[in-house]
Amino acid sequence: MTNHYHAVVWLDHREAHVFSFNAEDADKQVVRSHALQPHLHRKANSIGDGRAAPDPAYLDGIAEALQQAQAILITGPAGAKTELKRHLEAHRPALAKKIVGVEAADHPTDGALLDHARRYFLAADRMRPQRG
């Protein structure tokens, strides 16, 4: 697997698609959660929203897949993307500093996700200080 500067991850609570890429090439890893995801069962007068806690082993697996990236875009539906960001901030602060964006995305195809990420970083890289 080639080490690329940019990475994008799309995740939900069951599966993450992690791409490290440049303008011409991309490498993909899929990370799956092994935790059982129970249905929500809400009870009157109970504390909490009835959701299962994030799976730390799953989030660590995603972090490992992102380890070589220098600029990371996190995408996904609902709260999974923010759970990953919070997990990285708490447990992998050096990696969390490499997050350049967190965006909502439903269920794009791999090609659509990669196209979006390439356009995103093309614009984001122009906004960063130039070293020379």
Angle between helices 80-91 and 56-66 (to 10 degrees): 80
Please indicate, yes or no, if residue 39 is contained in any of the structural domains. Answer: no
> Is the pLDDT assigned to residue 40 strictly greater than 50?
no
How many domains does the chain fold into?
1
Please indicate, yes or no, if residue 69 is contained in any of the structural domains. Answer: yes
Give pLDDT, residue 44: 59
Main-chain dihedrals φ then ψ at residue 36, nearest 5 degrees: -75, 135
Domain of 88 in residue numbering reads as 6-26+51-127
Please indicate, yes or no, if residue 45 is contained in any of the structural domains. Answer: no
Please indicate, yes or no, if residue 22 is contained in any of the structural domains. Answer: yes
| Whole-number percent of the chain with pLDDT over 70 | 80
Report the CATH number that the domain containing residue 60 is assigned in CATH. Answer: 3.30.420.60
pLDDT band at 3 (very low <50, low <70, confident <90, very high): confident
CA-to-CA distance for 104 and 99, rounded, in angstroms?
15
Please indicate, yes or no, if residue 12 is contained in any of the structural domains. Answer: yes
CA 19 to chain CA centroid, Å, is 10
For the chain, the residue count is 132
Please indicate, yes or no, if residue 1 is contained in any of the structural domains. Answer: no
The whole-model pTM stands at 0.84
pLDDT one-digit tens code per residue, 47-81: 555 556 679 999 999 999 999 999 999 999 989 99
Work out whether strand 15-21 and strand 26-32 pair parallel, antiparallel, or are unpaired: antiparallel
Please indicate, yes or no, if residue 81 is contained in any of the structural domains. Answer: yes
Give pLDDT, residue 28: 97
Q: How many CA atoms lie within 13 A of 55 on its CB side?
A: 18
- Sort residue 50 into left (φ over 0), alpha (ψ -120 to 50) or beta: left
Please indicate, yes or no, if residue 85 is contained in any of the structural domains. Answer: yes
> Is the pLDDT assigned to residue 39 strictly greater than 50?
no
pLDDT one-digit tens code per residue, 84-93: 999 999 999 9
Give pLDDT, residue 41: 47
Q: Which residue has the tokens 């929203």?
A: 49
Give pLDDT, residue 29: 97
